[in-house]
Amino acid sequence: MRGLAFAGKAVRFLLIAMVRFYQLFISPLFPPTCRYYPTCSQYAIDAVRKYGALQGGWMAVKRICRCHPWHDGGYDPVK
């Protein structure tokens, strides 16, 4: 059981590290286009921290799919 808990934390850490890499090195190369607050990348980090890699990752994917020019966006924190 301890091995599964460690694996879950490792996957969570890896996902957050990938998003942070995007925030620090890739995102600054493009103009800001996210229609939400907090941004989709911050939402992904918050969701993974709160709900874990699987559920939080799925929440982030759904949020990113909603972030397009035909959606109003707005304030949408992780609940």
- Reported as a pLDDT band with limits 50, 70 and 90, residue 7 is confident
Q: Which domain holds residue 16?
A: 2-75
Angle at which helices 40-51 and 53-66 cross, to 10°: 160
pLDDT tens-digit profile of 61-71? Answer: 999 999 999 99
- The reported pLDDT for the residue numbered 3 is 72
Number of domains in the chain: 1
- The reported pLDDT for the residue numbered 52 is 95
Retrieve residue 76's tokens: 């949408």
Mean pLDDT, rounded, for 3-31: 93
Retrieve residue 3's tokens: 């091995």
- The reported pLDDT for the residue numbered 20 is 98
Mean of per-residue pLDDT scores for the chain: 94
